[in-house]
Structure 1
Amino acid sequence: MQLESLYDETRKWFFLMPPIFGPLQFLFDAPFGRFSPSNDSIFLVDGIKAWIVMELVSPITFITVLYRGPYAAPLSAMSTPQVILTSLFMIHYLNRALISPLQTPSRSKSHIVVPLSASMFNLANGALMGTYLSSPAASAFLAGALSRPSFWAGITLWACGFAGNILHDEVLLDIRRKSKAKGKRSENKLGKEHYAIPHGYLYRYISYPNYFCEWSEWFGYALAAAPFPALMPLTETMRTIQPPWLFLWAEVLLMIARAYKGHQWYHKNFPEYPKERKAVVPFIF
């Protein structure tokens, strides 16, 4: 009962915190990547190692809670839709936490506050997602899901978003590979990256297609995994909204400011930057 109470309390705060901290990011630059601090501070950590550590928190917590949490059950007791959704979550983080960063030739240093705050977010999110997927609520919703069109529409959207995320990240990685080959990174004594204007695919329309594709990915996942949130009073919404939708909610609110700030940075640093591009949503924002 204590674990169930902790689950409900965490779910409530996971709903409330993004609308508070998300807008605050419009006021300052998150100290990593292109906005990494320019001083050689002891609080700066290796960008690739920090990324791997903070992203591994989510799948490790997810698996731990899935099998040791308040609704823990053996793999044999999980339905096929539950196994599919568990696999998709782990595939995403296998790429995000290991494959992608290990393919990255270099990454700007990050202020220690970034991996620490991201680890806290991933700890909560991994616990919520693992608890939900093993819960009676998930079992009830996913009963008969294999014959439900919305389930397969969600899985398809997840796959398209996942593929799009990898595709557009590869465009950025290619810029880094070429700059490293030309020795441009060595020109910066503080270890910051060389940046250039990305082109191709959805970069024709927006500055951050990798963000847009990740939102599409998790929208599809939520569509397949949980009932669509109903319009209710705030207190009732906090009690009923399920973690897959909470994850999407938090991602959009916490990432949209970073996309906007990065979009402004491109325009400031590249006078020839395409004027028709939006920040993160094609033709809209």
Structure 2
Amino acid sequence: MKNTEEARIWYDIARKGFAILPPLIAPVTFVINAPFGRFSLKKDSIFLVDGIKAWIAMELVFPFTFSYIFLKSPLSPGAHPPLALSHPPAFLAALLLLHYLNRALVSPLRTPSRSKSHFIVPLFALCFNLTNGSLLGAYLSSPAAQAYLAGAFARPAFWAGVALWAAGLAGNILHDEVLLNIRRTAKAKGKARASPPPGSRDARRKQEHYAIPHGYLYRLLSYPNYFCEWCEWLGFALAAAPPPSLASGADFLATVAPPWVFLMAEVCLMLPRAWKGHKWYHARFPDYPKERKAVIPFLF
């Protein structure tokens, strides 16, 4: 009983902290570029690490952490959740692992090339995935989740959330594939490196090939892959947990479950990068479509 109470205390601290920190960090990232991808530092810096290897290492933290915590069930020790897909928590756990199978292995291993990353980026991502994996694993194996998800397969709202999750995952993969094809085409033509304007910062170092993406939601957005990922986690949250109370800040922190915390963190941390990347596209390509928004159709 004592161990369970301690686990509950640490779970609540992590859950509330994870809900508070991303909104505080987001304004900073509107000003400071996260040093990876198109905003990577000089390639000869001692602080840079291989982009693909770092990505795989930092993303694999989530499935291992999540699986361990889910099976350990720290909020209900001795009452491990059934692992059959006919059990809603296990079904939702499988959705999480499916996403990270693509994110941590399939996608990076199919990437022709990726810019080097400052070591602080995978370090921050490792901490994020460690916390997020622990929270989601603890939640889905908890008595609260078991109670909320009892009979979930008979609720249309559950399957609506799962359908939105599936559509978001498919859209995320589809639009990432457009970006991968740009690099594949450039590599096939022997143009894996761009030729920036003379005298520019990019001209003094080699850089990954970039071009204007087209097709699908790229007609409307610069970052449809981000938008689709938000739809994915919104659908997951709708299926997995009750919405938090918005009556007050205290009520929100008391009731927000990890699936909703994850969604909020994703939006807070990805929105500034999408906005800055959108501005980068306009600055780099004079013919960039003016009608495109950054990441939310018709709005932002």
Fold shared per TM-score above 0.5: yes
Contact conserved, 1:107 with 1:192, CA < 8 A, in 2? no
Please point out which of 133, 139, 142 is paired with 2:149: 142
In structure 2, how many angstroms separate the alpha carbons of the residues matched to 1:99 and 1:191? 26
The answer to whether residue 296 in structure 2 is matched with residue 263 in structure 1 is no
Contact conserved, 1:229 with 1:241, CA < 8 A, in 2? yes
In structure 2, how many angstroms separate the alpha carbons of the residues matched to 1:242 and 1:74? 20
Counterpart of 1:250? 265
In structure 2, how many angstroms separate the alpha carbons of the residues matched to 1:91 and 1:267? 35
In structure 2, how many angstroms separate the alpha carbons of the residues matched to 1:9 and 1:69? 17
Contact conserved, 1:108 with 1:191, CA < 8 A, in 2? no
SS at match of 2:174: helix
1:24-103 correspondence to structure 2 within 5 Å: 24-70=28-74, 71=76, 73-76=79-82, 80-103=87-110
The answer to whether residue 214 in structure 2 is matched with residue 199 in structure 1 is yes
In structure 2, how many angstroms separate the alpha carbons of the residues matched to 1:262 and 1:44? 20
In structure 2, how many angstroms separate the alpha carbons of the residues matched to 1:39 and 1:214? 29
Please point out which of 238, 246, 251 is paired with 1:236: 251
The answer to whether residue 291 in structure 2 is matched with residue 284 in structure 1 is no
Query: 1:39 Cα deviation (Å)?
Result: 4.8
In structure 2, how many angstroms separate the alpha carbons of the residues matched to 1:281 and 1:187? 28
Query: 1:38 Cα deviation (Å)?
Result: 2.3
The answer to whether residue 29 in structure 2 is matched with residue 22 in structure 1 is no
In structure 1, how many angstroms separate the alpha carbons of the residues matched to 2:186 and 2:137? 40
The verdict on how the C-alpha distance between 1:230 and 1:279 changes in structure 2, with shifts beyond 3 A counting, is same
Counterpart of 1:272? 287
In structure 2, how many angstroms separate the alpha carbons of the residues matched to 1:236 and 1:160? 31
Gaps of 5+ in 2: 196-203
Contact conserved, 2:36 with 2:116, CA < 8 A, in 1? yes
Report % sequence identity.
Answer: 62
Report the number of matched residues: 285
The answer to whether residue 162 in structure 2 is matched with residue 155 in structure 1 is yes
The verdict on how the C-alpha distance between 1:187 and 1:168 changes in structure 2, with shifts beyond 3 A counting, is closer
Amino acid across the alignment from 1:157: L
In structure 2, how many angstroms separate the alpha carbons of the residues matched to 1:185 and 1:82? 44
The verdict on how the C-alpha distance between 1:47 and 1:3 changes in structure 2, with shifts beyond 3 A counting, is same
In structure 2, how many angstroms separate the alpha carbons of the residues matched to 1:185 and 1:167? 22
Query: 1:190 Cα deviation (Å)?
Result: 5.0
Query: 1:66 Cα deviation (Å)?
Result: 0.5
Greater mean alpha carbon deviation, residues 69-78 or residues 24-33: 69-78
Please point out which of 225, 235, 238 is paired with 2:240: 225
In structure 2, how many angstroms separate the alpha carbons of the residues matched to 1:283 and 1:77? 42
Greater mean alpha carbon deviation, residues 230-239 or residues 58-67: 230-239
Counterpart of 1:209? 224
- TM-align CA RMSD: 1.5
In structure 1, how many angstroms separate the alpha carbons of the residues matched to 2:14 and 2:191? 45
In structure 2, how many angstroms separate the alpha carbons of the residues matched to 1:162 and 1:186? 30
Could you report, residue by residue, the CA deviation over 1:235-281 in whole angstroms, capped at 9, with x for unpaired residues? Answer: 22212110000000100011000000000000000000000000000
In structure 2, how many angstroms separate the alpha carbons of the residues matched to 1:76 and 1:20? 38
Could you report, residue by residue, the CA deviation over 1:204-254 in whole angstroms, capped at 9, with x for unpaired residues? Answer: 000000000000000000000000112232122212110000000100011
Contact conserved, 1:46 with 1:108, CA < 8 A, in 2? yes
Please point out which of 4, 16, 20 is paired with 1:12: 16
In structure 2, how many angstroms separate the alpha carbons of the residues matched to 1:280 and 1:6? 35
The verdict on how the C-alpha distance between 1:87 and 1:187 changes in structure 2, with shifts beyond 3 A counting, is same
In structure 2, how many angstroms separate the alpha carbons of the residues matched to 1:74 and 1:219? 26
In structure 2, how many angstroms separate the alpha carbons of the residues matched to 1:81 and 1:9? 26
Could you report, residue by residue, the CA deviation over 1:82-112 in whole angstroms, capped at 9, with x for unpaired residues? Answer: 1210100000000000000000010000000
